A and B are shown apart, each in its own frame.
Chain A
Amino acid sequence: MSKEIVMIDGNEAAAYSAYHTSEVIAIYPITPSSLMGEYADQWAAEGRQNIWGSVPTVVEMQSEGGAAGALHGSIQAGALSCTFTASQGLLLMIPNMYKIAGELTPTVIHVAARAVATHALSIFGDHSDVMGTRETGFALLASNSPQEAMDMALIAQEASLESRVPFLHFFDGFRTSHELARAEEISLIQMQAMIDQARVKEFRLRALSPETPRIRGTAQNPDVFFQAREACNPFYAACPAITASVMEKLFRITGRQYHLFDYVGTIDAERVIVMMGSGAETAEETVKYLTDRGEKVGLLKVRLFRPFSVPDFIQALPASIQKIAVLDRTKEPGAIGEPLYLDVVTAIHEAKESGKASFGPLRIVGGRYGLSSKEFTPAMVKAIYDELAKPEPQNHFTIGIQEDVTNSSLSFDPSFSTEDPRTLRCLFYGLGSDGTVSANHNSIRIIGLETDNFARGYFVYDSKKAGAVTVSHLRFGPEPILSTYLINRANFIACHQFYFLEQQDMLKAAEVGATFLLNSPYPASEVWSHLPRRVQQQMIEKKIKFFVIDGYQVAKDTGMGNRINTIMQTCFFAISGILPKGKAIEKIKESIQKTYGRRGETIVAKNFLAVDHTLSHLQEVQVPETVSSTFDMRRPVPVEAPEFVQNVTAKIIAGLGNDIPTSLLPNDGTFPSATSQWERRNIALEIPVWDPSICIQCGKCSIVCPHATIRGKVYDPKLLEKAPPTFKSTKALWKEFPDTVFSLQVAPEDCTGCGLCVSNCPAKNKQESGKKAINMASQLPLRDQEKSNWAFFLSLNEVDRSKLKLNLVKDVMLLRPLFEFSGACSGCGETPYVILLSRLFGDRAMIGNATGCSSIYGGNLPTTPWSQNREGRGPAWSNSLFEDNAEFGFGMRLALDQQNAFAKDLVRKLSTEIGKELSENLLTAEQSSEAGIQQQRERVAALKQRIVGIDRPEVEQLMPIANTLVKKSVWIVGGDGWAYDIGYGGLDHVIASNRNVNVLVLDTEVYSNTGGQMSKATPRGAIARFAANGKDTRKKDLAMMMMAYGTAYVARVSMGADDGQTIRAFLEAEAYEGPSIIIAYCHCISQGLDLVHGLDQQKKAVQSGYKPVQRRIEPVAHRL
């Protein structure tokens, strides 16, 4: 049978096997596993059949807990079922996993293994989630590559059916789930041969049915529970052998062989690493390298971790073994070792005790590696073998980091490399929006499928959603590629954005003689003088072959806009010579047809045109022999940034985060706020320019700016004496501030150039109606002057908040945003509401933020957009989980109320020391206005002064909680995925609580952060991820449901439709002493609209009656 070769990532590979051997698939989005659900949903929408000829039912649930419940129910009722998840999602499935295993019911959960949130959330890969399920009774089966993900997914299904033990099949998040690699696709005929129909029949017959009534899931008492719990023992005892036989069956059918434990290395190895997951590929590459050079080393790859078969494990180890290093990709604080280590120690101990192991004295050490997709390289593997070679190898080590607090880390030589010189190693630096990654997906497919080369591609993305930098790591070569680590020795580097040269040290990874392709607005004759000194120097020292093309000009000429992907791809093939030129062009065009054919002939034609126009614009540059540039790479942060930002944040920004030692990082996840101001990303091609003669000072630009980069101030005209020459001002139009001037200023280096401010500006030039009071203009010529203007603007005094009418947009503009320069998308529809919250209440806000877009742009390193005012006050922010945010914020309220009450008690007890008047004023303070709050702050300051030093226990108790006497504003912020779906139960309870919390639902009508999956906020008919055929039910009316309590303040707002109403809703919600909820309509990139029209879209949604705005000022129950 001919083999179908595919280029596939781990998610698709696992989903492929899972889909075709399932009948019911319950899904819920969570990174990095969401794609498995998306594939299943898409295939079902297309009517793709499983191996039994039916189309699986794919259903999205409200949470992973819900998906696990649906899975449990489905298998009890006799349908072959599976689900996909990761991390916190897997944790939510654990209760059902115990039940499913306890009931000996076959199923498979496919996991793209990801770090569990601890001191911080991380979306990246490790085994902490999988290890959290060890006690559930699920079998745990690991795969290490996309090919293995396809194979093991199928093995898991059949082994589960045969053994009745449910399986958890896992592979490393991102490294395997998102890596493109060449694989042999299992045909449906092969799948049919793998699945034993007799076992399927047995599974059906065990299902619950009224025709053969039984009950399952009883409650048992001390008399029988224990014995009954032990009844499953034979199934677990048999499971390893069954799994091994299923692996053997796969070998017979496909020719690919796996064992429960796979050993590679010399038969007389003395030092062996035991591990599982994608890191084993790198370890295998290293073992081959070392054994070729005579070292007696080996690697044992663990496939079936649970049930752990001691005999198979012992059998797989070479008898010559003397030392073992067991590597765990997880951390169990306080344990005497991580899980795999403990199992290995126990297994060997038991085997030796029982005389079943023939080893001599054996030294076993354990170590941690690769948490949160931390790089795991041959250099690290080598360091571990070297450590094992020592007489007293370090135990409980870490590798890959500099852990300088307890000094657990092994050092390694980063220059050690096992790269095959015949492998072409390519790095591509692109911008998210320029199509670099999608072009590289196509390139790797072309090379992997059309040549004899093996190919593997991995893609590194940004932590920002706007101006995101992507780095594609592509390897091609004549031998199978095992390198599951980033390329640090490249022989081809492409830079698709010229300005990256100032920011990214991309030639650091270049080998001598490497090729460098640059998308340059300057021709070959001029480009040299525009390169930073470091780049010039590296080019000369490394004898770089240098090519340039003005990709954007070619794109413009061929109608491609800002998409330079096919242009740069064509250059890559032309320079690399990996395919003959004609063949390369033919294959590029075929891939264009395949990728874009469904989008219409126009798109295909313009891509073809771009390909045809490219080669004549590609130029080779003769590299001069001397460095001549007058400038160098930019500093990641300015010199005036604070120490922590210089020592830690700047390194992360510069891409040197791997070098930061443990001692410099916070040990409890607490980071300083107000650090985004130092990042200055300069990603806007155009920025708004103010025309004071047209401006009506309405504030509408400032209030909708998603990144808080356009601001207004009113101030004394005398201050203008020190203004930079180009700083603009005009007479202020506020009655409250006579004889003042007004300035509107943009932060040129922080603006993302989205244009929402201009689209929302109502003031037009009377001579030229196409011009407004702000107009977009090219950033680069304005950058320096506006930098000075922005610095001067920041130096001007903030306006006295107590003099402002906070229900007016123009007055709100004058409030300093305490959420600025976030990592949100350019043109984001959510952040204007968050910024509004920060302006109105930020100096006294406690914020609980559900996981999602808002927690990512609000809390993803390197910098923090939550900011501080001049007095050092600002929002206190935290993210607990996705599902519990209402409860989390509610807890904050309880704590504040409790401390406030206690503080008041203490004030009463200390009234003599405090003074009667002050203590009475403190206790009865009216804090419904800015002025009232300010006065209370002054009273608290006076209180502290009066009691400091007084030797009474009440003073000691009062001092740390005295600030709770000042009114605090508790906000619970999250998206519709949280409020409508996974967190709804908690939200419902908190709204019913009658406590003073404020809920802000940022409703984009989909799960935006994970890529636009349907939520219950999605409208009927909308096509979204997980709703590829359109959603068939209406949008849930959350406002109506919340109003039903009669105790909550409920508002629906739309900044684009009515900004004044929006502000009033925020003020009323906050002023209301009970629970409040604001449902804010947010335009979003996932809605498939050009975000510059986002506000207009909001307006239309309201005007059409689809999205009504409302404010329920007086909750009903308070009238009754």
Chain B
Amino acid sequence: MDLTTKYLGFLLNSPLVAAASPLTASVDSSKLLEDAGAGAVVLPSLFEEQLISDSIEIDERLNQGTYAYPESLTYLPEIPFASDEAEQYLDLVRKSKEALSIPVIASLNGYTDGGWLRYAKEIEQAGADALELNVYYLATDPDERCESVEKRYLDLIGTVKAAVQIPLAVKVGPYFSAFAHTAQQMKSAGADAFVLFNRFYQPDLDVETLNVTPNLVLSTSEDLRLRLHWVGILFGKLQVDLAISGGVHTHIDVLKSLMAGASVTQFASALLQKGIPLLTKILEELTDWMEAHEYHSIEQMRGSLSQNRVFDPTHFERVNYTRMISAYRR
């Protein structure tokens, strides 16, 4: 059975990729993922905001109360905190690369040109095989126009692409007015692959304490639909690799993703819930299913259920929506 798949220029052993999550934050854990059958690992995101806010926080705390009272002119040793975190990340890239034979994809989550550029270069120098740009920008200002938001994305991608040689995957959210067009522009700006979709973590509200409570909700297979939909639309129209991230929990989810047109499926929530051995189990089930259904390769099924290749492409259009509504009424 040929489970190999091409993604970002690499021939992966399997279409199961470990997504950016705490599981790839240690080399030991990544090694287990590789042994369990991961085709590649995406390292956790280095958050530019986190570095900046940590830097500001450490500055404020080191300054707090200093040079005021003669017995305690300072309170803490000078801790090179901010730069350490970036250095630790680069060290993770280096060590992961040394320990693994599968591709190591670093992930960068940032929002300023300068910050992205610097860290993208350093990540490349540290040996990452590819870079996944996690672009998470929430336009909450009513005066900010959608054009400027999209331009922000394109500028970021273009700047990073110009700075590094390694392939570039772009992970975005689904909230664009014209995502197909935006994706095309992002491809033109330098995206070699899209990872669909970023999961925005919306805050919850606590009615007892009247607090807004940020919390992390892991994905379920239900989250897959949106990804399948857009991968199915984009496959064949844009010459880029597509990855699905969010909602892949079973071998059936993997099959759907591949048939929609994804080159790889990224796993995080499922592994956090059921452990790394789940990858091996899914690979076995995937193989069994393909054997039972007489498929011989991943490539054979890839995109077979995309909009371009299905019998009725309108299933991916608005008409699909009206059909569903009327069917429900009946």
Contact = CB atoms under 8 A, between A and B. Distances in A.
Given A598-B80, A1023-B76, A1089-B61, A1010 B67 contact: no
Query: Which among A42, A438, A1091 has the highest number of chain B CB atoms within 10 Å?
Result: A438
Given A602-B56, A1023-B77, A1028-B77, A465 B83 contact: no
Interface string B27-65: 000000000000000000000000110111011111111
Contacts of B159: none
Interface in A6-45: 31-32, 34-35, 38, 42, 45
A424 B77 CA distance: 33
Query: Which among B58, B64, B81 has the highest number of chain A CB atoms within 10 Å?
Result: B64
Contacts, number: 131
A433 B64 CA distance: 7
A446 B236 CA distance: 64
Contact of A600 (B59, B64, B66): B59
B65 A432 contact: yes
Interface residues of A, number: 53
B72 A1010 contact: yes
A438 B83 contact: no
B59 A599 contact: yes
B185 interface: no
A839 interface: no
Interface stretch (A456-464, A921-929, A1074-1082): A456-464
A598 B75 contact: no
Given A432-B65, A598-B80, A599-B81, A561 B60 contact: yes
A215 B76 CA distance: 43
Contacts of A563: 63
Contacts of B142: none
Given A599-B81, A769-B210, A1024-B76, A1090 B71 contact: no
Contact of B66 (A38, A123, A438): A438
A433 B65 contact: yes
A437 B211 CA distance: 40
Contacts of A858: none
Nearest to B62: A599
B78 interface: yes
A827 B114 CA distance: 37
A1061 interface: no
B48 to A, nearest CB: 10
Given A769-B210, A1086-B76, A602 B70 contact: no
A676 interface: no
Contacts of B65: 432-433, 465, 825, 1085
A434 to B, nearest CB: 9
Nearest to A605: B114
B76 A465 contact: no
Interface string A556-586: 0000010100000000000000000000000
Interface string A1083-1114: 00110111100000000000000000000000
B63 A600 contact: no
Interface in A754-813: 764, 769
Interface in A97-128: 123
A133 B56 CA distance: 47
A600 B51 CA distance: 8
Contacts of B175: none
A432 B61 contact: no
Contacts of B76: 1012, 1023-1025, 1086, 1088
Contacts of A1024: 76-77
A602 B72 contact: no
A602 B68 contact: no
Contact of B56 (A174, A432, A465, A603): A603
Nearest to B67: A437
A515 interface: no
A470 interface: yes
B126 interface: no
B74 interface: yes
B68 A1025 contact: no
A432 B72 contact: no
A170 to B, nearest CB: 19
Interface of A: 31-32, 34-35, 38, 42, 45, 123, 174, 178, 431-433, 435-438, 459, 461-465, 468, 470, 561, 563, 596, 598-603, 764, 769, 825, 856, 1008-1012, 1023-1025, 1028, 1085-1086, 1088-1091
Interface of B: 51-52, 54-56, 58-83, 210-211
Given A602-B51, A603-B55, 10 more contacts: A32-B70, A433-B66, A437-B73, A462-B68, A599-B80, A603-B56, A603-B59, A769-B211, A1012-B74, A1023-B76
What 4 A-B pairs have minimum CB-CB distances, sorted nearest first?
Answer: A432-B68, A600-B55, A600-B82, A468-B68
25 contacts: A32-B71, A34-B71, A38-B77, A178-B73, A432-B66, A432-B68, A433-B64, A462-B69, A463-B69, A598-B80, A599-B59, A599-B62, A600-B54, A600-B55, A602-B56, A602-B82, A1011-B73, A1023-B76, A1025-B77, A1086-B75, A1086-B76, A1088-B61, A1089-B61, A1090-B60, A1091-B64
